[in-house]
Amino acid sequence: VTLWSGRLEAGMAEEMAAFTSSLPFDRELWRVDVAGSVAHVAGLEGVGVVTGVEATTLRAALRAVASELEDGTFAFEPTDEDIHTAVERRVTELAGATGAKLHTGRSRNDQVATDLRLWAREAIVAVGGSLLDLVEALDARAEELAGVWLPGYTHLQRAQPVLLSHHLRAHAWALLRDVDRLCDAAGRVDVSPLGAGALAGSSLPLDPTVAAGVLSFGSTFDNSLDAVSDRDYVGELLFCIALAGVHLSRMGEELVVWSSTEFGFVELDDRYTTGSSMLPQKKNPDAAELARAKAGRLIGHLAGFLATLKGLPLSYNKDLQEDKEPLFDAVRQLLGSIAALRGCYATARFGTEAMADAAADELLGAVDLAEWLVARGMPFRDAHRRVGGLVAIALRDGRPLRELVELDDELGAQAAALLGPEGAAHRGSSPGGGGAAPSGAQAVALRGTITSARSRIDALPRLPALW
Ligand code: ARG
C-alpha cells in the first residue's frame, strides 16, 4: 500500500522504487520529522480538526515511533519510500484510525521542507561550535608561542618577518568570518514552511504559527508556493561550508608545506600522520592533505546543487529530493576536516628554530630601512630605490646587506641595527600589523570575537524538547 493507492492501481516497478526512494539517506531526518509531526498535531488540535484525546493518542504513537527509531528496533517496510512515509505508516499501525488523521492538511512537500530546515538549524550550531573550537586551538598555540618569528610570505617568497602568533591568528579570523556567515544564514533558515501543504495551503482553518511555535521557529512562510520550493538556505549553507572548506584547505596545504624537510616549520604529531607501506622513513601529513582535498568535494556539492535548482518551475518538484545528500555530506565532511585540523594544530611541534633562522634573513628588513629613511624626510620612492640598490649589490657580490647599510652615508650604523634582532621592536608595529606591539590588542580582539560568536551560536533556535 502506498500513500496514493487510491489513485494509482499498479504498484511501483522495482527499479522505479529503488531509484526514487530517499529512505537510504533521509533516515537522518527521523528526529526532526517526528518533531514536525508533534508540532502539526498541536496545530490540528488547536483548530479542532483532532480532539484532545486524539491528539494525545497521536503524540503517544509518535513518541513510541521515536523510541523505536532511537533504539534501532524500528522495522522499515519495503514500501517506506522515505522517512515521512515510514513514520506515518508506523503511527497509523499504532494508533489505528486516529493515526490516519496525522497527515490532515499537510503534504510531504511542506513536511520535508520543515524537516530540512530543522536539521539545518542543528547543523549550523554543530559546525559553528566546532569551528570555534578550532579557532580556540589556534589562539592557544599563538599564545603559547608568542615571540616566535617566521618569514611572512607573499607569492610564497619571503617578504617580512611576522610573529607566528600573528600567522596562526590570521587563520582564526577567517574561520570567525565563517561562523559569522553561518549565523547570518541561520536567520533565513529559521522560517517555518509547515502549513503550506502541497503548494497552496489548505481549506481547513489551520494556523501555521501554532506548529511554528512548538518548533521554536522565528517566523512562518508568507507564500505557500515559495515555502515548498525554497531551498535557498541549502545553497547558502553549502556556500558557507564550501568557503570554510576552502579555508581549511589552505591551512592543510600550509601544514603540508611546512612539514616538509625543506621548510621544517612544523612536525605533526604521530597521531595525525601516517607511515608509508614501503618507505620506512616516511611520515605523511594525511590529515592535512585530506583537509586540503575535501574542499573540492564541498565546492562540488555547492555547484551541483545550484545546477539542480536552476530552472525548476514552481513549486515542489521531485528534483528537490536531491537537496539532502549534498547537505548531509557537506556537513559531515566539514566536521571531519575541522576535527582533524584541530588535532593537528593542538599537538604539532612548531619548528621555532627553523622559523627564527629563516626570519633572520636580513633581506626581510629591507622595507624597514626604507621606512627609516622616510621617517627622516626622504620620499618613499627614493628610499625604496636606494635600499633596492644596496640589496642588488649585496646579492651580486655576496656581501651582507648590513655591511653595505653601515657604509651608506644616508643610512649608517643606526639603520643597520634594524636588520638584527634589535630591529624586532619596530617591525609591523602599526595597528593590526605582524609585530609585537599590536599583538596584545589583537589577542584581546580575537577573544572578544570568539566570545560573542559563542553567545550568538548559543542564542540560535534549537529543536525544543518534545515530551
Ligand atoms: N522524499 C521527498 C523529498 O525528499 C519528500 C517529498 C515528496 N513529495 C512528493 N510530492 N512526492 O523531497
Cα–ligand 1 centroid distance for 437 (angstroms) = 58
* CA 318–ligand 1 middle distance (angstroms): 6
One-letter identity of residue 124: I
For the CA of 82, the nearest atom of ligand 1: 1
Which ligand 1 atom is nearest residue 84's CA? 5
Kindly report the protein residue whose alpha carbon is nearest to atom 7 of ligand 1. 108
Q: Left, alpha or beta for 143 (phi > 0: left; psi -120 to 50: alpha)?
A: alpha
pLDDT of residue 307: 98
Q: Which of 4, 8, 112, 322 to mutate to test the pocket of ligand 1 (most atoms within 8 A of CB)?
A: 112
Rounded to the nearest whole angstrom, what is the distance from the C-alpha of residue 116 to the centroid of ligand 1?
12
**What was the pLDDT predicted at 6?**
76
Ligand 1, atom 4, residue with closest C-alpha: 321
Distance (Å, rounded) from C-alpha 248 to C-alpha 251? 5
Q: Distance between CA 41 and CA 379 in Å, rounded?
A: 76
Cell numbers given for 73: 528496533
Name the residue at shortest CA distance from atom 10 of ligand 1: 109
Å from CA of 109 to ligand 1 middle: 6
The atom number, within ligand 1, closest to the CA of 320 reads 12
Mutate to test the pocket of ligand 1, among 30, 82, 110, 305 (most ligand atoms within 8 A of CB): 82
Residues of the chain short of pLDDT 70, as ranges, are 1
Looking at the chain, the number of H-run helices and the number of E-run strands are 18, 6
Ligand 1 centroid to Cα of residue 301, in Å, is 20
Q: Which residues line ligand 1 (CB under 6 A)?
A: 22, 26, 82, 108-109, 112, 316, 318, 320-321
Query: What nine digits make up the cell of 424?
Result: 624586532
The residues that are catalytic are 155, 276
For the CA of 81, the nearest atom of ligand 1: 1
Q: Which long-range contacts (CB under 8 A, 24 or more apart) does 373-381 make?
A: 373/410, 373/411, 373/415, 378/410
Residue with CA at minimum distance from ligand 1 atom 12: 321
3-state secondary structure 49-71: CCCHHHHHHHHHHHHHHHHHHHH
What are the grid coordinates assigned to 322, written together? Answer: 536531491
Nearest Cα to 244, choosing from 171, 136, 345?
A: 171
Q: Please write the tens of the pLDDT for every residue from 383-427.
A: 999 999 999 999 999 999 999 999 999 999 999 999 987 888 889
Which of 226, 230, 242, 227 shows the shortest CA–CA distance to 326?
242
E strands of 36-175, at which residues? 149-154, 157-163
Determine the distance separating the centroid of ligand 1 and the alpha carbon of 322, expressed in angstroms.
10
